Structure 1
Amino acid sequence: MFACARQAPDAVRGGERTSSVSVVVLKGARLIDGEGGPPIEDATLVIEGETIRAVGPSSDVAVPDSAQVIDVRGKSVLPGLVVNHAHLGVVDGTQSGSGHYTRDNVARQARQYEVYGVTTVTSLGFNTALFPSLQEEFNAGAPRGADLLGADRGLGVPSAAPPVNVGEDQLYRPRTPEEARAAVRETASRRPALVKIWVDDFHGTLPTKMAPDVYAAIIYEAHQQKLRVAAHVYYLEDAKRLVRDGVDILAHGVRDRPVDEELVREMKARGTWYVPTLGLDETFYIFAEQPEWMRTPFFEHSVQPALAAWFADPAWRAKALGDAKALAENKASVAMNLRNLKTLHADGVSIGFGSDSGATPLRIPGFAEHRELELMVQAGLTPLAALTHATRDAAVLLKLQDRGTLAAGKRADFILVEGNPAVDIRDVHRIAGVWHRGRRVSGGVEEFTP
């Protein structure tokens, strides 16, 4: 944390500005800077253009005479959430699959993420040729919405994983190592942030998994192309082999068995990242169970009308809970995922952040990330640890040095909330405003209609 105020080069000093860019000051906030330390109870942020120019205890930060000063006493400020695993353009309402990757649909989702405090989102597969232009527009701040990173199409298994009906231009399904290497080289020509592979058989519901020689070829060729690989996994043995073969990111949690010392040792030795996506299996049943939080504005304003109609339908709820075997398996997967996250966090494995939001209609952009934070705390992490994984660490995973923490010289991407999420993680839902690239881009989620 800050022992004293920090200022970027050419910062505001002595009540004077060093540039003509407008300066905005947030004064009196409880500062959660993303580094994991205790909050500063009375802090000031000086924002010049898109950048944090000074931040620290209010007693140590000079406020320029010409600045716009916003009194935020009683509120907390924390970095914008950075998401390592989501999907854009796959769903719309209750529909999913081919045909939804349109400019309007992707823009709607990017805006929903932003309103819910996600200022950077990684679309981990299923991206079309439209993605690079959308990425350029959103990352330049033209339309309002989260910054976008992507994993191009991704590589799956013929007639198996992933069981998603997307277009041929949204997914490769190589049959041989040679086809896999060619797909990676074509992917590399578009310079994505990551390469995505789907390895497992989705709880035994698919006829086969990706062959080890195929995913080994993908990992090798991706590394030759200076790209990192994120793998969709479920089983411990798959995770261990992938890590030995050099995969860079396990993009889901291990959910069949407790993680063991071998996996921990190999991940730490190789610097492999772990993104648990705790809420993934929960979505299969939680909405049918109708928890109290489904009747809050924070949840309701994230749900498209067609999906809300599903949730209100007793027949849909009965069907979702009707398969006792599947229900038990999904709840067991959630419990194992929580257990394994606690173990890996305690053992010092690098943890990222994501919820697989946007992959199905039930994984709701923005809301799913907030639910993920709650589940991380339920797993046994402190609220500050969960927030650190969702901000600083998620940015480090993506090699983004300009965001993820609130420090001088970083981008001014942050969320202002009521209450103290360092004590109660649910307070992060109480959004009073979102700033992105130094601009206030939204207020409370109640102002938003999906």
Structure 2
Amino acid sequence: MTMKRMFRLSLLTAGLLSAFAAQAGTVALQHARVIDGKGGAPLENTTVLIEDNLIVAVDTDEQAKLPKDARIIDLSGKTVLPGLISDHSHLGMIDGLTAGPQNFTRSNIERQLRQFQRYGVTTVTSLGLNGPLFQTLRAEAHAGILPGADTFGADRGIGVPEGAPPMNVGPDQLYRPTTPEEARAAVREMATRKPDLLKVWVDDFHHTLAHKMKPEIYTAVIDEAHQKGLRVAAHVYYLDDAKRLVAAGADILAHGVRDLPVDDELITLMKEKGTWYISTLDLDEAFYVYAEQPEWMKSVFFRNTLQPTLAAQFDDPAWRAKVLADPQKVKVDKASLQTNLDNLKRLYDAGVKIGFGTDSGAMPLRIPGFAEHRELQLIVQAGLTPLQALTLATQNAAALLGLDDRGTLAPGKRADLIVVDGDPVQDIRQLEKIEAVWQRGQLVSGPVVP
């Protein structure tokens, strides 16, 4: 898309949003196909009634009772569904091709939140590595005065000395305790800032790091967090670590198990303890897929998510050749993805609680907004239906966060929703045909692709 074309589109979208923002009262989205997020079949010929920031009714067109002053929007042939919710992303870590504490700025985080929102992700969880600025931005997001997706987070999080996470972070973005007592003190300090979750990094990143987190450290973190009424999400890779963490009381496995097939022991433990699982399928695929140049990389939907330096890297034959010249790395990442796909299906079928997240924003290749759409496509590839995948990304994702005000389209819920030209239940790729995003009852974004 040319810059001139993008400028004209932004003017059109801005005009559309201004026109809606200038009007108050009730909005009736009529004649829509509605995926309400509860897992049932889509509701055809349905009206969604919005007043202020809430949904007040979801009825058939025939049964809908509209106020005389309602603004009516005809959505014939369109699908309405809840805004997507990410249980595992990161904010302010990346900018272009760089990753580091220098990127944890208001302007960069706002840019990312707007991109999430534009791609239909209306709630984001920044799962650790959050500096002091995060507390202010989270409060502004909850108050509706920060542009972009609503924001939750896990404060700084707890890593390993000379170990995970290996990325460059500032001293006010992470704790690396050496003893259980230091770990408990870190939890107590974070608790004063009232985080939504806590995060621990446990594994050694494919044996590339010198140490894993000692069990006595994460056990102390989990125990102290639970005393403070906080839940703990754990960064994992290996099956053995997952079992030990669940047994120790970890509330969320923040990544999929990718070294071995999950077994009955883990499944039984997770169901007994109510542990949540976030597969983050896109994570491993992102290491190699952009070098392979799949057809979908040519789409405007994808290209519009890329900052110029990242787009240039993807277009660089030398970069692609370098990635693909490391067959061991590609082999490992592809094997990890396949194991993750298989494990997700088995855990889902067994009735383990599954959330939704991608680790988007943790590194430049995990692209905010697009990663969530790719994750849904990979969930379907794993063997779930599109409707099941969408339910994970809406109702389930809200439940993982303990949010009962969003995730489904029902009276009393926040009016956070996506309008799509097509039917993603028939083809999950149809979700890319975003025509509008609504948040808190306001039209906040227009078409992603003109």
| TM bin (shorter chain) | over 0.9
Native 8 Å contact 2:434 2:449 kept in 1: no
Give, in whole Å, the separation in 2 of the partners of 1:378 and 1:345.
Answer: 14
Q: Give the match for residue 127 of structure 1.
A: 130
Q: Give the match for residue 226 of structure 1.
A: 229
1:360-387 per-position Cα deviation (integer Å, ceiling 9, x unaligned): 0000000000000000000000000000
Query: For 1:295-334, what aligned pairs fall within 5 Å after superposition?
Result: 295-334=298-337
2:169 aligns with one of 151, 166, 170? 166
How far off its partner does 1:56 sit? 2.0
> Given the alignment of the two structures, is residue 260 of structure 1 paired with residue 289 of structure 2, yes or no?
no
Q: Secondary structure at the match of 1:404?
A: coil
Query: For 1:43-442, what aligned pairs fall within 5 Å after superposition?
Result: 43-442=46-445
Give, in whole Å, the separation in 2 of the partners of 1:359 and 1:187.
Answer: 21
Native 8 Å contact 2:437 2:443 kept in 1: yes
Aligned-partner residue type, residue 226 of structure 2: H
Give, in whole Å, the separation in 2 of the partners of 1:25 and 1:294.
Answer: 36
Q: Secondary structure at the match of 2:87?
A: strand
Give, in whole Å, the separation in 2 of the partners of 1:89 and 1:403.
Answer: 25
How far off its partner does 1:63 sit? 1.6
Q: Secondary structure at the match of 2:101?
A: coil
1:292-318 per-position Cα deviation (integer Å, ceiling 9, x unaligned): 111111000000001001001111111
Q: Give the match for residue 15 of structure 1.
A: none
Give, in whole Å, the separation in 1 of the partners of 2:146 and 2:162.
Answer: 38
Give, in whole Å, the separation in 1 of the partners of 2:329 and 2:436.
Answer: 40
How far off its partner does 1:432 sit? 0.4
Give, in whole Å, the separation in 2 of the partners of 1:267 and 1:256.
Answer: 18
Q: Secondary structure at the match of 1:43?
A: strand
Q: Secondary structure at the match of 1:161?
A: coil
Give, in whole Å, the separation in 1 of the partners of 2:389 and 2:381.
Answer: 10
How far off its partner does 1:21 sit? 6.0
Aligned-partner residue type, residue 405 of structure 1: T
Q: Secondary structure at the match of 1:84?
A: strand
Give, in whole Å, the separation in 1 of the partners of 2:351 and 2:403.
Answer: 21
Q: Which runs of 4+ in 1 moved over 3 A?
A: none
1:130-159 per-position Cα deviation (integer Å, ceiling 9, x unaligned): 011111112222132000001000000001
Give, in whole Å, the separation in 1 of the partners of 2:308 and 2:83.
Answer: 27
Give, in whole Å, the separation in 2 of the partners of 1:157 and 1:47.
Answer: 47
1:42-85 per-position Cα deviation (integer Å, ceiling 9, x unaligned): 10011000000111211111122110000000000000001100
Aligned-partner residue type, residue 322 of structure 1: A
Give, in whole Å, the separation in 2 of the partners of 1:291 and 1:193.
Answer: 37
Give, in whole Å, the separation in 1 of the partners of 2:404 and 2:281.
Answer: 26
Give, in whole Å, the separation in 1 of the partners of 2:24 and 2:347.
Answer: 44
1:69-110 per-position Cα deviation (integer Å, ceiling 9, x unaligned): 000000000000011000000000000012110000000001
Give, in whole Å, the separation in 1 of the partners of 2:106 and 2:125.
Answer: 17
How far off its partner does 1:444 sit? 1.2
Aligned-partner residue type, residue 53 of structure 1: V
Backbone CA RMSD of aligned residues: 0.9
Q: Give the match for residue 35 of structure 1.
A: 38
Listed as ranges, the gaps of 5+ residues in structure 2 are: 1-22
Give, in whole Å, the separation in 1 of the partners of 2:265 and 2:162.
Answer: 32
Q: Give the match for residue 7 of structure 2.
A: none
Give, in whole Å, the separation in 2 of the partners of 1:216 and 1:320.
Answer: 38
Give, in whole Å, the separation in 1 of the partners of 2:210 and 2:386.
Answer: 40
Give, in whole Å, the separation in 1 of the partners of 2:179 and 2:427.
Answer: 50
Q: Secondary structure at the match of 2:282?
A: coil
Native 8 Å contact 1:86 1:355 kept in 2: yes
Give, in whole Å, the separation in 1 of the partners of 2:185 and 2:323.
Answer: 41
Aligned-partner residue type, residue 221 of structure 2: I
Listed as ranges, the gaps of 5+ residues in structure 1 are: 1-19
Q: Give the match for residue 17 of structure 1.
A: none
How far off its partner does 1:31 sit? 0.4
Native 8 Å contact 1:202 1:234 kept in 2: yes
User: How many residues in Structure 1 have an aligned counterpart in Structure 2?
Assistant: 428
Give, in whole Å, the separation in 2 of the partners of 1:160 and 1:339.
Answer: 28
Native 8 Å contact 1:144 1:441 kept in 2: no
Give, in whole Å, the separation in 2 of the partners of 1:141 and 1:436.
Answer: 9
TM-score (norm 1): 0.94
Give, in whole Å, the separation in 2 of the partners of 1:133 and 1:212.
Answer: 33
